[in-house]
Structure 1
Amino acid sequence: MNLGIIGQAAGLFAVTNVDDILILALFFAQGAGHRGSTRRIVLGQYLGFAAILTVAVAAAFGATFLPESAIPYLGLLPLALGVKAAWQAWKGPRGGTDEEEAQAKEGGPGPLEVAVVTFANGGDNIGVYVPVFATAGVGGISVYAVVFLVLVAVWCFAGRYFATRPVIAKALARWGHILLPLVLIAIGLLILVEGGAFGL
Structure 2
Amino acid sequence: MDLGVIGQAAGLFAVTNVDDIVILALFFAQAAGHHGGTVRIVAGQYLGFVGILAVAVAAAFGATLLPPAAVPYLGLLPLTLGIRAGWQAWRQRDGEGGDEVDVRPGGPGVLAVAGVTFANGGDNIGVYVPVFATAGAEAMSTYVIVFLVLVVVWCLAGRLVAGHRLVAATLSRWGHIVLPVVLVAIGVVILVEGGAFGL
Asked if these proteins are the same fold (TM beyond 0.5), I'd say: yes
Residue type matched to 1:110 in 2? G
Judged with a 3 Å threshold, the aligned counterparts in structure 2 of structure 1 residues 101 and 184 are, in CA distance, closer, same or farther, namely closer
The 1-side partners of 2:77 and 2:144 are apart by 25
SS at match of 1:13: helix
Corresponding residue for residue 133 of structure 1: 132
Corresponding residue for residue 144 of structure 1: 143
TM norm structure 1: 0.96
Aligned length: 197
Shift of 1:102: 5.9
Residue type matched to 1:67 in 2? P
Corresponding residue for residue 5 of structure 1: 5
Corresponding residue for residue 188 of structure 1: 187
Corresponding residue for residue 103 of structure 1: 104
Corresponding residue for residue 83 of structure 1: 83
Residues 48, 115 of structure 2: 8 Å contact kept? yes
Corresponding residue for residue 16 of structure 2: 16
The 2-side partners of 1:167 and 1:96 are apart by 29
List alignment gaps of at least 5 residues for structure 2.
none
Corresponding residue for residue 66 of structure 1: 66
Q: CA RMSD in A?
A: 1.2
SS at match of 2:64: coil
The 1-side partners of 2:112 and 2:151 are apart by 17
Residue type matched to 2:79 in 1? L
Corresponding residue for residue 35 of structure 2: 35
The 1-side partners of 2:32 and 2:85 are apart by 17
Deviations 1:28-77 (A, max 9, x none): 00000111100000000000000000000000001101011111110000
The 2-side partners of 1:72 and 1:162 are apart by 29
SS at match of 1:169: helix
The 1-side partners of 2:188 and 2:161 are apart by 25
Corresponding residue for residue 96 of structure 2: 94
The 1-side partners of 2:102 and 2:170 are apart by 24
Identical residues among aligned pairs (%): 71
SS at match of 1:19: helix
Deviations 1:78-103 (A, max 9, x none): 000000000100010534576x6662
Shift of 1:154: 0.2
The 2-side partners of 1:70 and 1:96 are apart by 38
The 2-side partners of 1:136 and 1:78 are apart by 32
TM norm structure 2: 0.96
Residues 88, 97 of structure 2: 8 Å contact kept? no
Corresponding residue for residue 50 of structure 1: 50
List alignment gaps of at least 5 residues for structure 1.
none
Paired residues for 1:161-172 under 5 Å: 161-172=160-171
Residue type matched to 1:47 in 2? L
